Amino acid sequence: MNMSANGSPQHPEHDVLIEQEDSESSDISFEDLNLSRDLLKGVYNCGYAKPSQIQALAVPRLLRDPPEHLIAQAQSGTGKTAAFSLAILSRIDFDNPSSQAIVLSPTRELARQIVDVIKSLAKFTPASVNKVIPESVPQVGLIEGQILIGTPGKLGDMMKRRRIDVSCVKMLVLDEADCMLEFQGFLQQIEIIKK
């Protein structure tokens, strides 16, 4: 992320900014989002009927080739977590056990919630998901999972210690990025992880 002279984020021209205020469903179906059959089973198993507006706008953009950077802002409860989770689950190669996506969260509790959402949506897929927060990281060995979710501090520390192999990571999500930018040191940790 580039920063302006006054410290506010600068968004490259290819980024897309989506701001959504309500959680009303859209006029399209989840089938219109071109999700796999296994992901659709997970979506409907979670009780979703139709995509919310933020999901209908964000998921197709996140699945474009080549991939786009995306900045999405919407009220709590509008389905942002499911939107980026569906995109991640659509893009990972299930045959490759390496870590392919990292989701950064400002808090342990939010990281746990994201893990729960992704695991629920991925119920009918072979996706491996792991949380990287202080109380859940084993003392030794490589931390495995095609999708890793954690706080910037713990993920950054595990990367420095070479406990996470990032050679196949192709997706990075900053959930609640505005909150993380408010905390001293988070921006530096995010920059380290991004590199």
Show Cβ contacts of residue 191 under 8 Å, excluding neighbours closer than 6 positions.
1
Taking the C-alpha atoms of residue 192 and residue 187, their distance in angstroms, rounded to an integer, is 9
Locus of tokens 């609640």: 176
Torsion sign, CA atoms 113, 148, 107, 7: negative
Mean pLDDT across 38-52? 96
- Could you report the per-residue pLDDT of 48-88, keeping only the tens digit for each? 999 998 999 999 999 999 888 888 888 888 899 999 999 99
Cis upstream peptide for 66 (omega within 30°): yes
- 74 backbone dihedrals φ, ψ, rounded to 5°: -155, 160
Contact status, residue 80 vs residue 176, Cβ threshold 8 Å: no
Domains of the chain by start residue, with CATH? 14-91 (3.40.50.300), 93-195 (3.40.50.300)
Mean pLDDT over the full length of the chain = 85
Taking the C-alpha atoms of residue 133 and residue 3, their distance in angstroms, rounded to an integer, is 28
DSSP bridge partners of 147? 101, 129
Taking the C-alpha atoms of residue 132 and residue 102, their distance in angstroms, rounded to an integer, is 10
Q: What is the pTM of this model?
A: 0.83
